[in-house]
Homo-oligomer: A and B are copies of this chain.
Amino acid sequence: MTSSTAARPPGRPRSGVNDVVFAATLRTVHELGYARATVERIAAAAGIAKTTIYRRWPTKGALIVDCLLDAFGPVPLEGGSRAEIMSSAIRWTAGKIGEPGVGDAFAGVFSDGVSDPELREILSSRLQDPYRLALQDALGEPEHRVLFLIDVVVGTLLHRMGMTGEPMVDDDVDALVEMVLPFFR
């Protein structure tokens, strides 16, 4: 065993509070909204110091992206036909965005990215790309078609969330599936 698992570095090890921080982030965003969920409040909710957060994530945006990655996890792409795969992926996305705090955090960090190219890059490469690649693979569609699909699905769900403050109801998610599927058959 020469080096594969990287011997523990010297010094005091980091306390394993990442999960606590993610939970505190979603809870705080859910209760106070994105803008009022300050890093200080998130740290307090997690029971740690603000500086500890900034030691692990360079910016608030990076923290939120990591938190969303943790909340979403890998997209389930089971299902036989292309239609079943797409349908279940859309419903899965809608369900995740509807979980308390997730939609607000997503819309908020997305908004911040509008005027922050570095955050946009993080958002695109760390959050969008993995799902884009998985979808390209599962659906056999070219990149630009999958990007378009993501624009439609995520854009629609976030617009509803941003405009009403509530996630999209199931009937409208059904309509979204019904509208998207024929176009990608």
Tell me if A156 counts as interface (CB < 8 A to partner B). Answer: yes
- Whether A163 and B120, one on each chain, are in contact in the complex, defined by CB atoms closer than 8 angstroms, is yes
Contact residues in B for A34 (Cβ distance below 8 Å): 114-115
A107 to B120 Cα, complex, angstroms: 13
Partner of A158, one of B115, B123, B157, B159: B159
Whole-angstrom distance from the CB of A55 to the nearest CB of chain B? 25
Q: Given contacts A148-B172, A156-B151, A156-B155, is CB(A162)–CB(B110) below 8 Å?
A: yes
Chain A interface bracket (under 10, 10 to 19, 20 to 34, 35 or more): 35 or more
Determine which residue in A107, A144, A158 has the highest number of CB atoms from chain B within 10 A of its CB, and name it: A158
Which residues of A line the B interface, CB within 8 A? 33-37, 104, 107-108, 110-117, 120, 123-124, 128, 144, 148, 150-152, 154-165, 168, 172, 175-176, 178-180, 182-183
- Whether B155 and A160, one on each chain, are in contact in the complex, defined by CB atoms closer than 8 angstroms, is yes
Q: Which residue of B lies closest to A110 (CB)?
A: B162
- Whether A123 and B183, one on each chain, are in contact in the complex, defined by CB atoms closer than 8 angstroms, is no
Contact residues in B for A176 (Cβ distance below 8 Å): 152
Whole-angstrom distance from the CB of A107 to the nearest CB of chain B? 4
Q: Which residue of B lies closest to A157 (CB)?
A: B155
- Whether B165 and A160, one on each chain, are in contact in the complex, defined by CB atoms closer than 8 angstroms, is no
Q: Which residue of B lies closest to A154 (CB)?
A: B159
Q: Which residue of B lies closest to A29 (CB)?
A: B115
- Whether A159 and B165, one on each chain, are in contact in the complex, defined by CB atoms closer than 8 angstroms, is no
A104 to B123 Cα, complex, angstroms: 17
